[in-house]
Amino acid sequence: MQDKIKQLLTEIQAGSFLALAKGITLVENDLPGYGQLLQSLNTTHQPKVVGITGPPGAGKSTLVNALLHEWTKKGCKVAVIAVDPSSPFNYGALLGDRIRLADFYNNDNVFIRSLATRGALGGLNPKIIEITDVVRNAPFDYILIETVGVGQSEVEIAGLADCTIVALVPEAGDEIQTIKAGIMEIADIFVVNKADRDAAESLYRNLKIMVHEKSRDKSEIPVVKTVATDNKGISELSEAIISYFDNFHDSNEKKLQLLTEKCWQLIQHHKMKGIDKRALAMSIKDAYTKPNFNLYSFTDTFLKTY
């Protein structure tokens, strides 16, 4: 097994998409050897990780598609991790990105992988940290992570991506509420997508005022207008991303906070590993029919069996 994992990692680092897909499947499903693979990863090559988040309907997938066109024209190799909603029946991804990113399905410079949220909050897959680290070991220039779009809980992406893009549209709701939303705190770059629609200019001006007021001694967060369906503003967005990385200086404090959070999530996963959700559901079904059912007593008893 050790030799097979070593060979798999060698192939991933050499750029094999097939090996990368196998490695992700290994990690996502806790298959034999996944622990060895994770512990064998190195950080010699570090692609730039860009997260794209925002409310449903903001055009995140269209922005990903447009950025892929922009970057592949320049010869960049890009991996896309698209986190889709889970099927309520088998917890698999609904594969919506396969339709939206059809132009790159057979592109040698683009790797696309769909992941299901599997019930996780924050618009991400529960194994996204480990999967992203596997992808980091492949020779990509950029890794694009697109979240589902579930609202304010999507702040998790800020702990994973090097650069977080928050995409908004004029129709996202009341402008004041939008600006106050917790998701606004995580942006490294704001995008006003569908900027050809009514009220886009008003949203753009409000965002510019907000970032100016919050900047103080720091540089202002860029606000970029795009119409992703027509490829308008995408070169400006690409330049804003490149400029961010050119001036990016990750403090030790932020790095330690990120590593602590990652370690905490890995420990949580390890502790929960032996708990089968379907078995839990069956146990609750049996216990609920009995008189004086108490969730907290049930949970305490259930945990003692594991």
| Chain segment 5-39, per-residue pLDDT in tens | 999 999 999 999 999 999 999 998 889 999 999 99
Phi, psi of 269 (to 5 degrees): -60, -40
88-92, 221-225, 230-234 — which is least confidently predicted?
88-92
Q: Is the pLDDT of residue 74 over 90?
A: yes
pLDDT tens digits, residue range 121-134? Answer: 444 556 788 899 99
- The residues, any chain, with a CB within 8 Å of residue 187's CB and separated by 6 or more, are 164, 165, 166, 221
Q: Which two tokens stand for residue 214?
A: 């919050």
The more confident residue out of 295 and 92 is 295
- Dump pLDDT digits (tens) for 94-149: 455 556 677 888 899 999 998 865 544 444 556 788 899 999 999 999 999 988 76
CB 79, CB 144: distance < 8 Å: yes
Strands laid side by side in the 48-53 sheet: 110-116, 78-84, 142-146, 48-53, 163-168, 189-192, 223-225
59 sits in the region (left: phi over 0; alpha: psi -120 to 50; else beta) called left
pLDDT > 90 fraction of the chain, expressed in percent and rounded:
44
**Domains of the chain listed by start with CATH number:** 1-41 (no CATH), 44-259 (3.40.50.300), 274-304 (no CATH)
Amino acid 235: pLDDT: 97
pLDDT-derived band at 55, boundaries 50, 70, 90: confident
Per-residue confidence (pLDDT) for residue 123, from 0 to 100: 42
The number of beta carbons lying within 10 Å of the beta carbon of residue 302 is 15
Which of 23-27, 42-46, 243-247, 267-271 is the most confident on average?
23-27
Locate 212 and state its tokens: 């100016």
Stated pTM of the model: 0.81
The gap between the terminal CA atoms of the chain, to the nearest Å, is: 28
- Share above pLDDT 70 across residues of the chain, in percent, rounded to a whole number: 78
Choose between 155 and 160: higher pLDDT. 160
Q: Can you tell me the mean pLDDT for 56-64?
A: 89
- The rounded distance, in Å, linking the Cα atoms of 170 and 148 is 19
> Mean pLDDT over all residues of the chain?
82
